[in-house]
Amino acid sequence: MLKKDIVSNVVVYRPIKCPQCGSKKVKCHTSKPPIRYHKCKACGYNFRSIEIKVNKKMLLEENKKISTWYRNIIIKKREKMSKRMSGPNSISWKGGRIKDSRGYIWIHQKNHPHANKWGYVYEHRLVMEKHLGRYLELKEIVHHKGTRYHIGSIENRGDNRIKNLQLFKNNAEHHKHHKKLRATT
């Protein structure tokens, strides 16, 4: 059974619950507006509800409160789902190794200090860190030399052997190196 509110020419229905057991299986057995008498089909409890006339402003404010409350519940559920379904639990998990559109390989290492917001780090940086035995600073640049493939190719960016990698202290040194390479060719 639904409880209705009359708002000008608008009729809004709301579900009625039994105050005793909380069941929504309620039958209206006597109706003399504004009072309606109900009987719960689950527990047999008799109770009444009052039809209240509400203006549009009150109804809109109440609906805003309900929609905000409902939206917050949905957001919380989505956050829980995304945490449960991320990383190895995800259906699209491919072993924690992905290749981006520029040819660089990313490795999933959520606890790495320089991981992005999804928990991935460039593989060439991890290889250099393992070789040096320390974490790289953010300003340090790992350059692909191009020993097997030509410089700038997508294949070269995926070649993360230590002999194909070179470390620069900062981006300025890296640009100087590229300037020298262009001058010699």
Average pLDDT, the chain: 79
Task: Tell me how far CA of residue 59 lies from CA of 4, 63, 67, 68, 185, in angstroms.
Answer: 12, 6, 12, 14, 75
Per-residue pLDDT tens digits for 15-65: 578 888 888 887 777 666 667 778 888 888 888 776 655 555 665 666 666
User: Rounded to an integer, what distance in angstroms lies between the CA atom of residue 77 and that of residue 75?
Assistant: 5
**pTM over cut 0.85:** no
The CATH classification of domain 1-54, taken from the options 4.10.860, 2.20.25, 3.40.190, 3.40.50:
2.20.25
Omega prior to 33 cis, within 30 of 0: no
Torsion sign over Cα 85, 91, 92, 98:
positive
DSSP string, 91-112: TT--TTEEE-TTS-EEEE-TT-
Domain definitions of the chain by residue range? 1-54, 89-184
Residues 140-166 have a mean pLDDT of 81
Answer whether residue 5 shows pLDDT above 80.
Answer: no
Helix boundaries (H) for 24-112: 56-84
